Amino acid sequence: MADGQEKTIDVDKLLKNKLKAVSVGSLENAISKVVSEMVGEDYKCTIGEVKYTLFSGADFHVKIELSYTPEK
C-alpha cells in the first residue's frame, strides 16, 4: 500500500460462512419479491441444491418463472 500499511485478512471471518444461516425459503421469497417489483408481474423463485464454498460463498441454481394464479 502507498502509506506502508498492509491490510490483513481476517481468516476466521472468511471461514465462517454466514450464508448457511439464511434459509433457502427466505432467499426464494426475497428474490421473487424483487423480480416481481421490477417486472410488474407476479413471479416465483425456486433455488436448487445449495453448495456452500469454503470462503463465505454459495453456489446454487435459481429458477424464476411467472406465477400462474387463475382469476376467481
For the segment 13-63, what is each residue's pLDDT rounded down to a tens digit? 767 888 888 999 999 999 999 999 999 999 999 999 999 988 788 999 999
pTM, 2 dp: 0.71
Q: Per residue in 12-26, is it b (16+ CB within 10 Å) or e — as a string?
A: eeeeeeeeeeeeeee
pLDDT of residue 56: 82
Residue appearing with cell numbers 450464508: 19
Q: Domain boundaries in the chain? A: 11-66
Distance from C-alpha of 25 to C-alpha of 18, rounded to nearest angstrom: 16
Distance from C-alpha of 22 to C-alpha of 27, rounded to nearest angstrom: 7
Burial status of residue 3 (CB atoms within 10 A of its CB: 0-12, 13-18, 19 or more):
exposed
